Protein backbone atom coordinates (compact mmCIF):
# COMPACT_ATOMS: atom_id res chain seq x y z
CA UNK A 1 0.00 0.00 0.00
CA UNK A 2 2.67 2.48 1.02
CA UNK A 3 4.82 1.36 -1.88
CA UNK A 4 2.24 2.60 -4.40
CA UNK A 5 2.20 6.19 -3.16
CA UNK A 6 5.49 6.72 -1.34
CA UNK A 7 7.70 5.40 -4.14
CA UNK A 8 6.37 7.97 -6.64
CA UNK A 9 6.81 10.82 -4.15
CA UNK A 10 10.36 9.94 -3.12
CA UNK A 11 11.35 9.22 -6.71
CA UNK A 12 10.52 12.84 -7.59
CA UNK A 13 12.34 14.16 -4.53
CA UNK A 14 15.48 12.09 -5.16
CA UNK A 15 15.72 12.67 -8.92
CA UNK A 16 18.11 15.67 -8.62
CA UNK A 17 20.39 13.69 -6.28
CA UNK A 18 20.39 10.74 -8.70
CA UNK A 19 21.34 13.09 -11.54
CA UNK A 20 24.15 14.54 -9.41
CA UNK A 21 25.62 11.07 -8.79
CA UNK A 22 25.49 10.25 -12.49
CA UNK A 23 27.38 13.42 -13.31
CA UNK A 24 30.07 12.32 -10.85
CA UNK A 25 30.43 8.99 -12.62
CA UNK A 26 28.79 6.85 -9.92
CA UNK A 27 27.06 3.72 -11.24
CA UNK A 28 23.63 2.49 -10.10
CA UNK A 29 25.14 -0.85 -9.05
CA UNK A 30 27.63 0.96 -6.80
CA UNK A 31 24.77 2.78 -5.08
CA UNK A 32 22.91 -0.51 -4.62
CA UNK A 33 25.94 -2.18 -3.02
CA UNK A 34 26.78 0.81 -0.82
CA UNK A 35 23.19 1.17 0.35
CA UNK A 36 22.96 -2.48 1.31
CA UNK A 37 26.28 -2.34 3.16
CA UNK A 38 25.10 0.73 5.09
CA UNK A 39 21.79 -0.88 6.08
CA UNK A 40 23.59 -4.05 7.20
CA UNK A 41 26.08 -2.06 9.26
CA UNK A 42 23.34 -0.06 10.96
CA UNK A 43 21.31 -3.17 11.73
CA UNK A 44 24.03 -5.59 12.79
CA UNK A 45 26.31 -3.16 14.64
CA UNK A 46 23.74 -1.12 16.55
CA UNK A 47 20.60 -3.24 16.97
CA UNK A 48 22.20 -6.23 18.75
CA UNK A 49 23.49 -3.77 21.38
CA UNK A 50 20.08 -2.17 21.88
CA UNK A 51 21.15 1.09 20.18
CA UNK A 52 17.91 1.38 18.23
CA UNK A 53 17.89 5.14 17.76
CA UNK A 54 21.33 5.40 16.19
CA UNK A 55 20.88 2.18 14.28
CA UNK A 56 17.70 3.54 12.73
CA UNK A 57 19.41 6.80 11.83
CA UNK A 58 22.19 4.92 10.02
CA UNK A 59 19.76 2.59 8.24
CA UNK A 60 17.48 5.45 7.16
CA UNK A 61 20.51 7.26 5.71
CA UNK A 62 21.11 4.34 3.36
CA UNK A 63 17.69 2.79 2.79
CA UNK A 64 16.71 5.33 0.12
CA UNK A 65 19.44 3.93 -2.11
CA UNK A 66 16.75 1.47 -3.20
CA UNK A 67 15.03 4.36 -4.97
CA UNK A 68 18.14 6.24 -6.06
CA UNK A 69 19.75 3.37 -8.00
CA UNK A 70 16.65 2.70 -10.09
CA UNK A 71 16.22 6.42 -10.72
CA UNK A 72 19.82 6.64 -11.89
CA UNK A 73 19.40 3.69 -14.23
CA UNK A 74 16.30 5.21 -15.82
CA UNK A 75 17.92 8.63 -16.25
CA UNK A 76 21.01 7.07 -17.83
CA UNK A 77 18.95 4.73 -19.99
CA UNK A 78 20.80 1.69 -18.67
CA UNK A 79 18.01 -0.23 -16.93
CA UNK A 80 18.80 -3.92 -17.20
CA UNK A 81 17.71 -7.34 -16.01
CA UNK A 82 20.96 -7.60 -14.06
CA UNK A 83 20.30 -4.34 -12.22
CA UNK A 84 16.78 -5.43 -11.32
CA UNK A 85 18.05 -8.81 -10.13
CA UNK A 86 20.85 -7.28 -8.04
CA UNK A 87 18.51 -4.73 -6.48
CA UNK A 88 15.88 -7.31 -5.57
CA UNK A 89 18.43 -9.76 -4.18
CA UNK A 90 20.16 -7.19 -1.99
CA UNK A 91 16.79 -5.94 -0.72
CA UNK A 92 16.30 -9.40 0.79
CA UNK A 93 19.79 -9.24 2.34
CA UNK A 94 19.07 -5.84 3.89
CA UNK A 95 15.71 -6.97 5.26
CA UNK A 96 17.32 -10.04 6.75
CA UNK A 97 19.94 -7.90 8.49
CA UNK A 98 17.31 -5.60 10.03
CA UNK A 99 15.16 -8.33 11.51
CA UNK A 100 18.22 -10.40 12.30
CA UNK A 101 19.52 -7.45 14.34
CA UNK A 102 16.28 -7.37 16.31
CA UNK A 103 16.48 -11.13 16.90
CA UNK A 104 20.07 -10.87 18.13
CA UNK A 105 19.06 -8.19 20.64
CA UNK A 106 16.22 -10.22 22.07
CA UNK A 107 18.37 -13.36 22.13
CA UNK A 108 21.02 -11.44 24.08
CA UNK A 109 20.67 -8.22 26.04
CA UNK A 110 16.94 -7.95 25.39
CA UNK A 111 16.47 -11.35 27.04
CA UNK A 112 13.11 -12.24 25.50
CA UNK A 113 12.91 -15.54 23.63
CA UNK A 114 9.33 -14.90 22.46
CA UNK A 115 10.23 -11.60 20.80
CA UNK A 116 13.36 -13.22 19.38
CA UNK A 117 11.10 -15.82 17.75
CA UNK A 118 8.72 -13.09 16.50
CA UNK A 119 11.64 -11.20 14.93
CA UNK A 120 12.83 -14.40 13.22
CA UNK A 121 9.29 -15.01 11.95
CA UNK A 122 9.22 -11.46 10.55
CA UNK A 123 12.51 -12.16 8.78
CA UNK A 124 11.38 -15.48 7.32
CA UNK A 125 7.84 -14.44 6.40
CA UNK A 126 9.10 -11.31 4.65
CA UNK A 127 11.39 -13.44 2.47
CA UNK A 128 8.60 -15.91 1.68
CA UNK A 129 6.09 -13.15 0.87
CA UNK A 130 8.52 -11.83 -1.74
CA UNK A 131 9.23 -15.34 -3.01
CA UNK A 132 5.56 -16.22 -3.57
CA UNK A 133 5.10 -13.29 -5.94
CA UNK A 134 8.36 -13.94 -7.78
CA UNK A 135 7.68 -17.67 -8.08
CA UNK A 136 4.11 -17.14 -9.21
CA UNK A 137 5.23 -14.71 -11.90
CA UNK A 138 7.98 -17.12 -13.00
CA UNK A 139 5.35 -19.75 -13.89
CA UNK A 140 3.37 -17.26 -15.92
CA UNK A 141 0.79 -16.06 -13.40
CA UNK A 142 0.03 -12.35 -12.82
CA UNK A 143 -0.22 -12.70 -8.99
CA UNK A 144 -2.65 -9.78 -9.05
CA UNK A 145 -2.54 -8.97 -5.35
CA UNK A 146 -0.19 -6.96 -3.19
CA UNK A 147 -1.46 -7.83 0.26
CA UNK A 148 -1.78 -6.12 3.59
CA UNK A 149 1.92 -5.57 4.41
CA UNK A 150 4.58 -5.36 1.71
CA UNK A 151 8.24 -4.49 2.08
CA UNK A 152 7.64 -0.75 2.43
CA UNK A 153 5.17 -1.28 5.26
CA UNK A 154 7.47 -3.76 7.02
CA UNK A 155 10.35 -1.30 6.95
CA UNK A 156 8.37 1.79 7.93
CA UNK A 157 6.57 0.12 10.83
CA UNK A 158 9.66 -1.59 12.24
CA UNK A 159 12.14 1.25 11.75
CA UNK A 160 9.86 4.01 13.05
CA UNK A 161 9.10 1.90 16.12
CA UNK A 162 12.78 1.06 16.62
CA UNK A 163 13.86 4.68 16.32
CA UNK A 164 11.25 5.82 18.82
CA UNK A 165 12.02 2.92 21.16
CA UNK A 166 15.64 4.03 21.12
CA UNK A 167 14.61 7.30 22.77
CA UNK A 168 14.30 5.28 25.98
CA UNK A 169 18.05 5.70 26.39
CA UNK A 170 17.57 9.47 26.26
CA UNK A 171 15.19 9.36 29.19
CA UNK A 172 11.81 8.94 27.51
CA UNK A 173 9.94 6.47 29.76
CA UNK A 174 7.93 3.48 28.54
CA UNK A 175 8.52 4.14 24.86
CA UNK A 176 10.54 0.95 24.34
CA UNK A 177 7.25 -0.99 24.23
CA UNK A 178 6.71 0.32 20.68
CA UNK A 179 9.22 -2.10 19.14
CA UNK A 180 7.57 -5.30 20.43
CA UNK A 181 4.18 -3.97 19.31
CA UNK A 182 5.59 -3.21 15.86
CA UNK A 183 7.16 -6.65 15.53
CA UNK A 184 3.86 -8.33 16.36
CA UNK A 185 2.05 -6.11 13.83
CA UNK A 186 4.59 -6.95 11.12
CA UNK A 187 4.45 -10.67 11.96
CA UNK A 188 0.65 -10.88 11.81
CA UNK A 189 0.45 -8.61 8.76
CA UNK A 190 3.09 -10.66 6.92
CA UNK A 191 1.21 -13.88 7.68
CA UNK A 192 -2.01 -12.37 6.30
CA UNK A 193 -0.17 -11.13 3.21
CA UNK A 194 1.37 -14.57 2.66
CA UNK A 195 -2.06 -16.21 2.84
CA UNK A 196 -3.48 -13.60 0.45
CA UNK A 197 -0.77 -14.29 -2.11
CA UNK A 198 -0.96 -18.09 -1.80
CA UNK A 199 -4.74 -18.02 -2.24
CA UNK A 200 -4.37 -15.72 -5.25
CA UNK A 201 -1.75 -17.94 -6.88
CA UNK A 202 -3.91 -21.03 -6.28
CA UNK A 203 -6.92 -19.35 -7.90
CA UNK A 204 -4.93 -18.01 -10.85
CA UNK A 205 -3.25 -21.39 -11.38
CA UNK A 206 -6.62 -23.17 -11.41
CA UNK A 207 -7.99 -20.64 -13.90
CA UNK A 208 -4.91 -20.97 -16.13
CA UNK A 209 -5.07 -24.79 -16.04
CA UNK A 210 -8.79 -24.74 -16.86
CA UNK A 211 -8.21 -22.34 -19.76
CA UNK A 212 -5.41 -24.54 -21.09
CA UNK A 213 -7.59 -27.66 -20.83
CA UNK A 214 -10.45 -25.92 -22.66
CA UNK A 215 -8.07 -24.79 -25.39
CA UNK A 216 -6.73 -28.30 -25.87
CA UNK A 217 -10.22 -29.76 -25.97
CA UNK A 218 -11.28 -27.18 -28.57
CA UNK A 219 -8.31 -28.00 -30.77
Do the annotations mark residue 209 as ligand-binding? no
d(CA 173, CA 151): 30
3-state secondary structure of 122: helix
Q: Annotated catalytic sites, by residue? A: 91
Do the annotations mark residue 112 as ligand-binding? no
Do the annotations mark residue 87 as ligand-binding? yes
Count of CB atoms situated within 10 Å of the CB of 111? 10
Do the annotations mark residue 70 as ligand-binding? yes
Helix 28-41 crosses helix 65-76 at what angle (to 10 degrees)? 180
Do the annotations mark residue 91 as ligand-binding? yes
3-state secondary structure of 157: helix
d(CA 52, CA 160): 10
Do the annotations mark residue 130 as ligand-binding? no
Do the annotations mark residue 152 as ligand-binding? no
Q: Which residues of 122-145 are buried (b: 16+ CB within 10 A; e: fewer)?
A: bbebbebbbebbeebeeeebebeb
d(CA 145, CA 132): 11
d(CA 158, CA 175): 14
Annotated binding site for Mg(2+): 66, 69, 87, 91
Annotated binding site for a CDP-1,2-diacyl-sn-glycerol: 29-32, 70, 74, 80
- Known binding residues are 29-32, 66, 69-70, 74, 80, 87, 91
Amino acid sequence: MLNKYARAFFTRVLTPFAAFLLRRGVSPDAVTLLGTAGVMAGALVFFPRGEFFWGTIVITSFVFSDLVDGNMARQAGISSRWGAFLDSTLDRVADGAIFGGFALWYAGGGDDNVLCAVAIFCLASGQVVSYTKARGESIGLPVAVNGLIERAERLVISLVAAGLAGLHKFGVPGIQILLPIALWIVAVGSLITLVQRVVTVRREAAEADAAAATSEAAS
